[in-house]
Every structure is written in structure tokens, then in C-alpha cells.
Amino acid sequence: MTQPKNFGYDDDAAALKTQAEKFFTDRLPVDQLHALVAHNPTPDRAPEVVWKPEIWREMTELGWSILTVPEAHGGLGLPLVAVAGLIEAQGKSACPSPLLETLNSGLVLSHCSEPSVGFEAILAGNAVSLAFSDQHGSCGPGKTSVSVTNGALSGQAFFVQDAAKADAYLVAARSDTGVAWYWVNANAAGLSCEQNALIDLTRDQATLTFNNVEAVCVGVDAEAAFTAAEPAILALLAAEITGAGEWLLQTTVEYVSVRKQFDHALGFFQAVKHPLVNVMSQIDETKSLAYFAACAYDSGEDRAAQAGHMAKASASVTADFSASRAVQLHGGIGFTWEAYVHLFFKRQVHSKALYGDAIWHRSKLADIVLGPVAAAQ
């Protein structure tokens, strides 16, 4: 199948990204972000959830939370390449919000058998998080630690992203007949949310404990729904990492252009120039793969899964490389709490591992490309 020009990224997609960039710049510039999330430098501080719910409400009013809800269910159903532009802009701002998880939930619901209750909640402005990982951080619903008996959930879901910001959860639970997706309201009786200690100051993460919690089945085949949505989820996360990498690169370029050593700006020296160019090249690689994966998903290509794994494998490298070089090239000030760079460094460290790191995705790519040969090793 031939992909459209520019991955299908048209004027409407560009307008959405421009709108998002202006929104994040106006509503939460980096100095305000730092004051919001980094107000307490104490190393042994308790996990906290710091964000601005009013910004999330504005996002829902703009229609951003329903971009992955199909038109047939009342949403906007935008092409994923357009959504990727929005998420790239959010990555560049590091704005704390449940936007990405809500969009991911919409993608999974789009492949579920009975998604109406979930779509209705998202259309009403509710935030949603996916809950499927076991204690080892599994990257799919097949190893869920949650079980279901007579429509009630018991067990635990680990590493739930932006859990405290969510109004509901899309939970993978196992029964005698297989693993299915269930809809659970965040205030449901028997459900508790324990915040995890997290390096990333711009997100929260929690462990959910279900004690006979009433739930509604929205998808009878969790594995199939997640497998269908996974390329899109990985594409969006790669776009998010791209945006954060762009902020780190731009900020570092600005710093080395004015900071002087030996009567020259730091950017004069080859030992600074070359790493920055390498970061730029790595970011561009990830950006291209992210939009390629989004386009493959939009086009219904058979290689969408391959494209998604390629995008996240590259993105995890970009997250690590852009973050480490930014701190290094800022010198001593890059290690201080007052420097804004640490916010994006920590966000990239977190994003690097989300939904699998580069090694895990390369392994999945090997399975796709080599098939039985890779599996036999």
C-alpha cells in the first residue's frame, strides 16, 4: 500500500499542532511549570499529584480528548497523524495532564466489542487511564494481575499512568474464558489508588487495588483490542518523546550559544557541536518514524505493528540521548534543581521505559522480521 504524501499530515493537522503549541506556551510556560511541579526539592518528599485541572478542562472544551473517539460514536475521529502533532506539542511543554492516557484509552475502546459506556464518559470530558500491567511491568493485557468473578474485579494493576487525574479506568481482567477490558469509575467502592514514588515530576503513577469492584465489560477480547491499538499508542508516545527532545535540544543550543569558556561561546567547540548535531539527527529519526507509524495505522497497513515497534525503539534511544546530552552540555548548572532542564530529563527517563524500552521493541521487531528463526533462538 502506498502511503499518502507527508504521511497524510495536511493543513488541518498543522493548524491543530500550531494551536496546541500556542496553548501550552500561553497556559503553562516552563517557568510556571517548574514552580508548579518542582516546588519541593526535598529528596525524601512523599509522592504527590501536582497539576492544573483547569487546563485539562480547557483541553476538553477544545475537543482534544475526543480526537480518538470515532465519529460514529460522537467523537472527532481525527487521523492519527494529526493527533501525533498535538502530542508532540504537549511533549515540548511537559504539561501535566491525562490527555495522552485518555487518547490511548479511546484507541483501545475503538477496537472493543461494547465500547459505548467508555465513549460516553470521554465525550462528557472524563479522563481515563489504562490499567493492565502486572508487577513486572508487562506491556500488554495478557499478564494482568486482576481477575473477574461475576462482574466484580479483584487484584492489582501496576504502573497506572496519571491514575490520580483519571475519572475512570479501562482495566484488563482475567476470567475462565480469557482476558477482557472492563470499565471502572475511579470512585467505585472497593477501589484504592496508591501513589508510586516517581522520578518524573510532571506525571503521576499508581498501583490500583481492586477488592470486589463492580465493573462493566466493554471488550471481550483484551489482547485483540490492545494489539490493534498498540501501533497507534506507540506512535503517540514516540511523538511525545520527540517534542520533549526538541525542547531539550533547543534549550541546550540557546545555552551553549551564550555561555562562554576561553573567550568563546561553548558552541564554538567541536566537542559541543558534534553531540548536538547527533541529538538533532536522532530526534529527526524518531519524528519520522512516529509519523510513519501513525500513517501506517491510519492506512490500515499490515506493517503498522512493525512501524509502531520501530518508532518506540527509536524513541527510547532519543529519550535517553537527548536528556543525557542536555544535562552534560549545561555543565554544573544542568545538575541543579533550579535549572529547568531536569524536568525534561526526568520526563524522558520515564518515557523511555513506558510501553517497553528499546531492547524490548527490537526483540518484537526481530520476531516480526525473522519469524520462527528469531523465536527459536
Q: What's the pLDDT tens digit per position in 102-123?
A: 999 999 999 999 999 999 999 9
Does the pLDDT value for residue 270 go beyond 90? no
* Mean pLDDT to the nearest integer, 302-306: 94
Q: The cell 569558556 sits on which residue?
A: 261
Please give the pLDDT value at position 261: 72
Query: Residue 103 carries which side chain, given as an amino acid letter?
Result: L
Looking at residue 361, what is its pLDDT? 96
- Residue 148: exposure state from Cβ atoms within 10 A (0-12, 13-18, ≥19): buried
> Cell numbers 470515532 correspond to what residue?
70
Residue 30 belongs to a domain: no
Residue 208 counted as domain residue: no
- 170 within some domain: no
More confident residue, 134 or 264: 134
Compute the average pLDDT of residues 146-160. 96
Mean predicted confidence (pLDDT) in 349-364:
96
Q: Is residue 235 part of a domain?
A: yes
In a domain, 370, yes or no: yes
CB neighbour list of residue 223: distance below 8 Å, 6 or more residues apart: 140, 141, 142, 178, 179
Position 43 in a domain: no
> Is 276 a domain residue?
yes
Cα 128–132–136 angle (5° rounding)? Answer: 135
Q: What is the distance of C-alpha 33 from the center of its chain?
A: 18
Question: How many separate domains does the chain show?
Answer: 1
Stretch 306-321: mean pLDDT: 98
Residue 371, pLDDT score: 83
Tell which phi-psi region holds residue 203, choosing left (phi > 0), alpha (psi between -120 and 50) or beta: beta
- Is 301 strand, coil or helix? coil
Cell numbers 470512585 correspond to 187
Domain region containing 341: 224-375
Residue 1 or 154, more confident: 154
Q: Which residues make beta-bridge pairs with 153?
A: 148, 213
What does the pLDDT read at residue 50? 93
181-231 pLDDT, tens digit each: 999 999 999 999 999 999 999 999 999 999 999 999 999 999 999 999 999
Residue 372 in this model has a pLDDT that exceeds 70: no
Q: What's the chain's length in residues?
A: 377
Query: What CATH number is attached to the domain comprising 333?
Result: 1.20.140.10
* pLDDT beyond 90 at 7: no
All 3 cell numbers of residue 1? 500500500
Percentage of the chain beyond pLDDT 90 is 82
pLDDT at 268 over 60: no
**Would you say residue 365 has pLDDT above 80?**
yes
Cell representation of residue 268:
564554538
What cell does 16 get?
491543530
Give a yes or no: residue 36 inside a domain: no
- The angle at the Cα of 240, spanning 167 to 181, to the nearest 5 degrees, equals 40
